[in-house]
Amino acid sequence: MTPLYFLFGDINKNNIYIKRDDLLPISFGGNKARKAVNFFREIEQGGFDCVVTYGSSSSNHCRIVSNMAASRKLPCYIIAPKESSLPTFNSKMMELFDSHFTFVSVNEVHDTIERLLTTLKEEGKKPYFIAGGGHGNLGTQAYVDCYEEIKEYEHEYKIHFDSIFLASGTGTTQAGLICGQLINQDIRKIIGVSIARKNPRGKQVVLDSSYEYLESKGIQISKSLLDNEIIFVDDYIGLGYGMKSQNIDYTINSVLINFGIPMDSTYTAKAYTGMMRYIKENNIKGENILFIHTGGTPLFFDDLMRLENII
């Protein structure tokens, strides 16, 4: 269970809380660490002897997967888009973990992965493939479990969170929380602040992940009813994935100074900035609001290199 605590009281009489998934004790933590635990449990149980995954040089997912593979003496193969191959603190760690990189154009990724898996099997290996970002039911399950942690906190401290905000990217983190909410038949809003995708595509991937998971558990729900439960906000993307802005830079600086919490411009600071704007623009008052810090600390250090320009 990761720490969850009160952050501050907002001017609209909202109480802001934060859940620090960045403090999961695996390679700088984060939502990708929660998901990776499930994948590596399956890897160990299935006797797989190498891991294949996909992601950019700044990928939190690839950093964690390569670290967990290295700690188990398993070769880790990363298919990376050459369009996003600039050096980062994440990529430096992936190199330290002795990951095997293959850089290709984005439109060649799928075929490259298939060829690599075929080659490894022909060599007598038993590869385990993890989709980019930890997408899939095991990734969704990680945040169904996280939702149960939130429920435990509410029960212990006699509190109810009216809204839960998070950075929404590949969709499984938000899907897991939504599935947890539906399973528990709770009334609250789970608001995914998009860090890249626009609607309708962004909401659709959350819907598909949620539906697939619930179906795998034998829980029947219509897609139209499930669609009504999903709040996917694409108003705060700015110029796109990984693009910085003055407001996001201000958040990084402010949250670090006032609370000692690192946030990065790609995920958490963008989502936190979006949350604060959403609260004001929708005139939300008197709520208990939970923000889930989904990690990305090495990306914060990439931002720190230009911190003197942050106002």
Q: Which of 94, 112, 134 is the last residue of a domain?
A: 134
Same domain? For 48 and 130 the reply is yes
Same domain? For 109 and 155 the reply is no
**Secondary structure letter of residue 309 according to DSSP:** G
- Across the range 220-235, mean pLDDT stands at 94
Catalytic positions are: 59
Same domain? For 232 and 254 the reply is yes
Same domain? For 185 and 142 the reply is yes
- Across the range 210-219, mean pLDDT stands at 97
Query: Over the stretch 166-210, which tens digit does the pLDDT of each residue have?
Result: 999 989 999 999 999 999 999 999 999 999 999 999 999 999 999
Same domain? For 163 and 209 the reply is yes
Same domain? For 167 and 110 the reply is no
Same domain? For 143 and 228 the reply is yes
Same domain? For 290 and 206 the reply is yes
Rounded Cα distance, 95 and 23, in Å: 23
Same domain? For 74 and 181 the reply is no
| Residue 54, number of CB atoms within 10 A of its CB | 24
Number of domains in the chain: 2
Q: Structural domain of residue 259, as residue ranges? A: 4-30+136-309
- Across the range 146-155, mean pLDDT stands at 98
Burial class (CB in 10 A: 0-12, 13-18, 19+), 75: middle
214: CATH: 3.40.50.1100
Burial class (CB in 10 A: 0-12, 13-18, 19+), 31: buried
Same domain? For 231 and 290 the reply is yes
- Across the range 106-123, mean pLDDT stands at 97
Query: Over the stretch 17-74, which tens digit does the pLDDT of each residue have?
Result: 999 999 999 999 999 999 999 999 999 999 999 999 999 989 999 999 999 999 999 9
Same domain? For 73 and 130 the reply is yes
- Inter-helix orientation angle 60-71/297-304, to 10°: 120
Q: Which of 119, 134, 149 is the last residue of a domain?
A: 134
Same domain? For 107 and 251 the reply is no
The pair of three-digit structure tokens given for residue 189, joined into one six-digit string: 């809003």
Q: Which of 85, 104, 134 is the last residue of a domain?
A: 134
